[in-house]
Amino acid sequence: MKKIVIGILAHVDSGKTTLSEAVLYKTGTIRNLGRVDHKDAYLDTEQQEKDRGITIFSKQAEFSYKNTSFTLLDTPGHVDFGAEMERTLQVLDYGVLVINGMEGVQSHTETLWKLLKRYGIPVFIFVNKMDMSAYDKSQLMEELRSRLDDSCVDFSCDNRDEQIAVSDEAMLDYYLANGCVLDEDIKRVICERKLVPCYFGSALKLDGIDELLIGLDKYTKMPVYGNEFGARVFKISRDSKGERLTYMKIMGGSLSCRDIIKYNEIQNEEDEQPADEKVNQIRIYQGAGFDSAATANAGMVCAVTGLTRTFAGQGLGSCTDNIEPCIEPVLTYKLEFDDKVDAYKLWEKIKIIEEEDPLLHAVWNEHQKEIFVMVMGEIQLQVLKQIIKDRFGINVSFGTGRISYKETIKAPVMGVGHFEPLRHYAEVHVMLEPLEEGSGIVCDTICSEDVLDKNWQRLICTHIMEKQHKGVLTGSPLTDVKITVTAGRAHTKHTEGGDFRQATYRAIRQGLMMAESVLLEPYYAFKIEVESGLVGRVMADVTRMQGSFEAPYLEGDLSIISGTAPAFCMREYHKELMSFSHGMGKITLSLAGYKPCHNQEEMVSLIGYDPDSDLRNPTSSVFCASGSGYQVNWYDVYDYMHVKEDEGFAITGQTDYAYSEDDEPVNAYEVKRQAARAAGAMTYTEEELEDIFVRTYGAKNNGSAAYTRAGFNRYSKQKSNASDSDNNSKSARRRPADTGIAKSGAYKKDGKEYLLVDGYNIIFAWEELTELAKTGLDLARGRLMDILSNYQGYKGCEVILVFDAYKVKANNGSKEKYNNIYVIYTKEAETADMYIEKATHELGRKHKVTVATSDALEQLIIMGQGAIRLSARGLKEEIESINSIIRENYLTE
């Protein structure tokens, strides 16, 4: 028996779930015919689906008909849940597109058609609600052919062979010679998407269901699968007990319980090679219930427990590629909740939901302790709010939504990133080039293997594609850019994989800072239906909203206006339309892509993103001199880079000149660099300095000494000196590029050294302290404080020991002196990592800073600030070495 996976897709309210119900009833899978309006549909298993009368989550059902075993996947029809629908497309053999016979082809229907075409899925069409339609078959077929594809053929009529035959030249030749077409040829051209069978009926009245089932059995063929295991993950969810479920289709071989899944790529920075996990259970879902299976064979759709590293779109085994979605949300909302709720704990819970719906793109604003999510529309917001309440018992609301922007560049530019803290080394050169709209990020390499080994080049390409890079205008995602590796350098002894990650990220950021960036905003494709007397008003509104439209046309008594406009301008227009049309107007919206923002300067100013202050996405590079790392600003990196490329290519990749007053050509990118350097040499008026002083040290209060004129004068002098010193240091640091790893004479920090220690990280990394902590955590803390006091006495550096206290309610943090070291307890909602990052950023500007931690992410961040990392094990070994020296000296005496 052949095995086929079909998906039911439709514009909302087309009767998609009713059709699924009818198919399951007709094939004997269910005994009673449920209805959406009666809240007893077999596949609407969630309470929110029953209450709202719409499908929110994709569902699975198994049924057989004649010679075929089918897996049916019912998908959401509402545009707000289009991402859930698109994830299901990744595993379909065939799609059944449901058309509302009362409405014809609607805007979201066309979106679905484009997605089915993108994924190469053969399609059957079922025109539903024909019992209530004012249109006949010929009118609907004409619309299907004009708005979808000429290949649509009515399979309910008797004389269809000639229409079928013209879809393929070989089939037409056979038809002309024999007067018929073969079923095998029909199967072939359907698979090739040259033919789309169309059926008509009423799912509610079970009319036309048998004909559709006969067609699905007769004109489908099972894909050919290989013997090697492969699978495509399309959904992550959790069952009623909270167990994580990975939904997948087996694309080759088989999968059995207790099998080991070997991942195709490294997913965590601390992993040196791809991880593997064991399959605990295989489930075949049937509506709300499931049957356990020992093995899932090729072609089967199943849910697997025991896997924690899977994600939607992921390929496993022989499926080596990961699929990125087309549909993406365009609205961003701030999560609002009671002050008593622990913001970070809520953030961790939201990340669980994001795992199930990756396009939420949940963002944690560490500085403001705020959470932002991206959604498609208001219905999704309401559903998300209810999910958070049902799962976690937390009531949330949402602030005013804002548009989700993207960024690209206007012209090619070269980016250079260098990462060289002590005992680390990597340099990367990339060319950034603009691409056509909708291209996304494309990676390539033209670097010679004589310059950089192929393995390092592959690693750089992996780092380019592994994350969503931020633009530098508003911090929005970068898109429509080709990133080409042009050069690079590794060190035979000191280069590690993580070094190239940092150098790659910094190269892209440095290139973006040099480039002319373009802010992109989402555009909606709209279709507005109003009475003819309101056409002028609508056209004027569209023009006001920076939109464009086609010539209006009539459909019955209504005028139809179609076009595109910025989503920012149209987001509330449906309310305005309902008002002036007295509830008779209708608007449908779908995402038409991203185009240059109509008010870029205004939005950039309003968002207020500062790329130089984004510590997790640094624009600078890290170089090394005299055993210490130091930062070089993005506008100086070209002067410091070690790999020397052709001068005309190293900066822009093209000749891009402006002209001076003397008509001398001036490279535009060099002008930008010099402007940035000049901006670094700030001058301050007395009023500006006074304002900064007040914000830093507090305003004058009842004659207190918090703010005095003498204090301000000292501050003013310090600021002025700092500005001069900064200019001098920049001049001192600027040197020609060379091929050395580290040269003397570069910028040096002062002699003061700091050691920052992540207290609990060290306690639970040292065995003796871990054992002591089991008796009492305060004992372990005290012992570590004594050890570090002894260490400081020998080394003479400033030691700052930091302990997490972010979970302590109403805690303002504390700082105390213990013997000769400082002990910090962080304030509420501030982790030790966060404190250390900020302290490193501040201290690392002037002093040599070492951070002791074994947190892999923290190590990367602090190295990015030019600090030296010291693992828990490394600190332990150094302390033991010092203790040995002390004992030897004592014994000698």
Residue-wise pLDDT for 229-268, tens only, equals: 999 999 999 998 889 999 999 999 999 999 999 887 765 5
Residue 170 pLDDT > 80: yes
pLDDT digits (tens, 9 = 90+) for 747-783: 334 568 899 999 988 988 898 998 888 888 888 889 9
Q: What does the pLDDT read at residue 806?
A: 52
pLDDT digits (tens, 9 = 90+) for 187-223: 999 999 999 999 999 999 999 999 999 999 999 999 9
Q: What does the pLDDT read at residue 470?
A: 93
Give the span between the Cα atoms of 859 and 574, in whole angstroms: 50
Give the span between the Cα atoms of 215 and 125, in whole angstroms: 11
Q: Find the mean pLDDT for residues 5-29.
A: 92
Q: How far is CA 620 from CA 113, 479, 617, 627, 746, in A?
A: 45, 22, 9, 19, 16
Give the span between the Cα atoms of 672 and 679, in whole angstroms: 10
Give the span between the Cα atoms of 478 and 326, in whole angstroms: 15
Q: What does the pLDDT read at residue 647?
A: 35
> Which residue, 34, 31, 5, 32, is CA-closest to 19?
34
Q: Find the mean pLDDT for residues 30-41.
A: 85
Burial of 360: CB neighbours in 10 Å, binned 0-12, 13-18, 19+: buried
CB contact burial 408-434 (16+ within 10 A = b; e otherwise): bbebbbbbbbbbbbbbbbbbbbbbbbb
Length of the chain: 893
Tell me whether strands 68-74 and 123-128 are parallel, antiparallel or unpaired.
unpaired
Token pair 């000296």 in the structure block, residue: 889
Strand partners of residue 408? 518
Q: Find the mean pLDDT for residues 378-397.
A: 90
Q: How far is CA 206 from CA 5, 7, 209, in A?
A: 22, 19, 6
pLDDT category, 89, cuts 50, 70, 90? very high
pLDDT digits (tens, 9 = 90+) for 816-843: 888 889 999 888 767 788 888 888 877 8
Q: Find the mean pLDDT for residues 856-881.
A: 76
> Which residue, 144, 139, 80, is CA-closest to 109?
144
**Phi, psi dihedrals of residue 714, rounded to the nearest 5°:** -60, -45
pTM confidence score: 0.63
Q: What does the pLDDT read at residue 203?
A: 94
Q: Find the mean pLDDT for residues 349-376.
A: 82
In this structure, of 390-399, 763-772, 848-857, the range with the lowest mean pLDDT score is 848-857
Helix (H, G, I), strand (E, B) or coil at 274: coil
Of these ranges, 119-128, 255-264, 343-352, 608-617, the one predicted with the greatest mean pLDDT is: 119-128
Q: Find the mean pLDDT for residues 177-183.
A: 92
Q: What does the pLDDT read at residue 712?
A: 42
Instruction: Look over the chain and give the mean of its residue pLDDT values, rounded to a whole number.
Output: 83
Residue 9 pLDDT > 60: yes
pLDDT category, 396, cuts 50, 70, 90? very high
Q: What does the pLDDT read at residue 685?
A: 46
Q: How far is CA 687 from CA 690, 714, 717, 721, in A?
A: 5, 15, 14, 17
**High-pLDDT (> 70) share of the chain, %:** 84
**Phi, psi dihedrals of residue 327, rounded to the nearest 5°:** -70, 135
Q: What does the pLDDT read at residue 222?
A: 95
Q: How far is CA 842 from CA 201, 399, 449, 744, in A?
A: 71, 33, 40, 25
Q: Find the mean pLDDT for residues 352-378.
A: 81
Give the span between the Cα atoms of 438 and 174, in whole angstroms: 41
Q: How many CB atoms lie within 10 A of CB 564?
A: 19
Top-confidence residue, 80 or 546: 546
Q: Find the mean pLDDT for residues 450-462.
A: 91
Top-confidence residue, 627 or 526: 526
CB 666 within 8 A of CB 658: yes
CB 575 within 8 A of CB 585: no
pLDDT digits (tens, 9 = 90+) for 691-743: 444 443 344 444 333 333 444 443 344 444 444 444 444 333 333 333 233 33
Q: How far is CA 44 from CA 202, 642, 682, in A?
A: 20, 61, 63
Q: Find the mean pLDDT for residues 658-670.
A: 45
Query: In the structure encoding, which two tokens stand for residue 107, read together?
Result: 């805007």
Q: How many CB atoms lie within 10 A of CB 767?
A: 9
**High-pLDDT (> 90) share of the chain, %:** 45
Using only the alpha carbons of the chain, give its radius of gyration: 32
Q: What does the pLDDT read at residue 790?
A: 86
Q: What does the pLDDT read at residue 733?
A: 34
Q: What does the pLDDT read at residue 324?
A: 77
Q: How many CB atoms lie within 10 A of CB 579?
A: 10
Which residues have a Cβ under 8 Å from the Cβ of 222 and sit 6 or more positions away?
Answer: 2, 3, 4, 93, 299
In this structure, of 65-74, 432-441, 554-563, 830-839, the range with the lowest mean pLDDT score is 830-839
pLDDT category, 556, cuts 50, 70, 90? confident
In this structure, of 126-130, 325-329, 441-445, 497-501, the range with the lowest mean pLDDT score is 325-329
Q: How far apart are the first and last CA of the chain?
A: 90
